[in-house]
Amino acid sequence: MKSKILLFCLIIFCSCKDKDQQPVPSNMEGSEVIVSDAEGFKITEFEGYKILSVKSPWPQAKAPFKYLLKEKDIEVPGNIKFDQVINIPVESLVVTSTTHIPALEALGVENKLVGFPGTHYISSEITRDLIDTGEIKELGQNENINTEVLINLSPDVVIGFAINASNKGYETIQETGIPVLYNGDWTEKTPLGKAEWIKFFGVLLDKQKEADSIYGQIKSEYISAKKLAKSATEIPKVLSGSMFNDKWYLPHGNSWQAQFIKDANAHYIYENTEGDGSLALAFESVLEKSENVEIWISSGQYESYEQLFNESEHYKRFKAVKDQEVYSVSLTKGATGGILFYELGPQRPDIILKDLISIFHPDLLNNYQPVFYKPLQ
């Protein structure tokens, strides 16, 4: 009888132990985090872990990337398919685009950034201070990151961006054991869509509430500014883009740049065009269509009318040039020459929109000082 009782207890003990060791079932339904404007990522929350799906890491990507974000010591389902597993909250990271910097600063976690490729491109004074004190290390070129320095830094994750599926540099990094997550903020087609990628960083850094609040404020400011612009009675015609080599590159009418002009209640001269990338037109073609346009924005690398005329005297034929209504983002730079617009602009579309409203409709925003767009000198 004693032997039977002992055998029964042993069976119960083993079955309980086996039950404890079995993977958590993955048939539980998670709750999806609200992402209202961005189309390139999705976040699904479960108890103790999250799934971050990046649907468009680059244009025409064939399949999304799935990242399992796991809290420490939490057991997750054993049959989930994922590309990388990350322990959250992330304590140290490397980012590879200046567009990632403002999100980290807005969330108050810039001190978690340990490395960046091409630190001279960074404009923010806050992050530049961390570079100057050696807390953020130089990692070389984005296409050829110094893996020796990276391994020594041992970040929890590298946030990468890519233009296509050929990314040998990131594959090399992953072979060292450092996970790489792709951020596709730049593929978004709308101003608010780009800005909402702050939630991508919020979920990694245990700052989801803060990210939601920050984005909510940016969206509210954008919508208010757009509403204000609609009250304007005069709608100017606008030209955008600039010459490079022998072509004038302009945004398509369905691009995020053109969306700003539309939301600022102006008429973009190429608003009816559609496509990816940029329009590439001959100078004569642009002159013929845009000679009498009132305002010219995003005039490339030009910072003064002297530079413009040194390039070509034909620019003097444009009405916008004659009236000195040419505006550039190249005049607002960081200490080492990085252009602030390309860093902060995607995160703060509300500021870009207000800049443009102040140019197109100066009577609507009294005493407003543009941040990005400045008149040529």
pLDDT tens-digit map of 345-355: 999 999 999 99
Give pLDDT < 50 ranges for the chain: 1-27
pLDDT digits over 174-192, tens only?
999 999 999 999 999 999 9
Is 0.75 surpassed by the pTM of this model? yes
Phi-psi region of 333 (alpha: psi -120 to 50; beta: other; left: phi over 0): beta
Task: Tell me which residue has tokens 């703060």.
Answer: 348
Domains of the chain: 31-218 (3.40.50.1980), 231-375 (3.40.50.1980)
| Residue 362 confidence (pLDDT) | 94
| Residue 301 confidence (pLDDT) | 85
Does the N-terminal peptide bond of residue 89 adopt cis geometry, omega within 30 degrees of 0?
Answer: yes
| Pairing label, strands 93-95, 113-116 | parallel
Q: Which of 350, 191, 184, 346 is nearest to 256 (CA)?
A: 191
| Residue 59 confidence (pLDDT) | 87
Query: DSSP states of 159-192 as a string?
Result: EE--SSS--HHHHHHHHTT--EEE--GGG-SSHH
Phi-psi region of 225 (alpha: psi -120 to 50; beta: other; left: phi over 0): alpha
| Residue 28 confidence (pLDDT) | 61
Cα end-to-end span (Å), the chain: 100
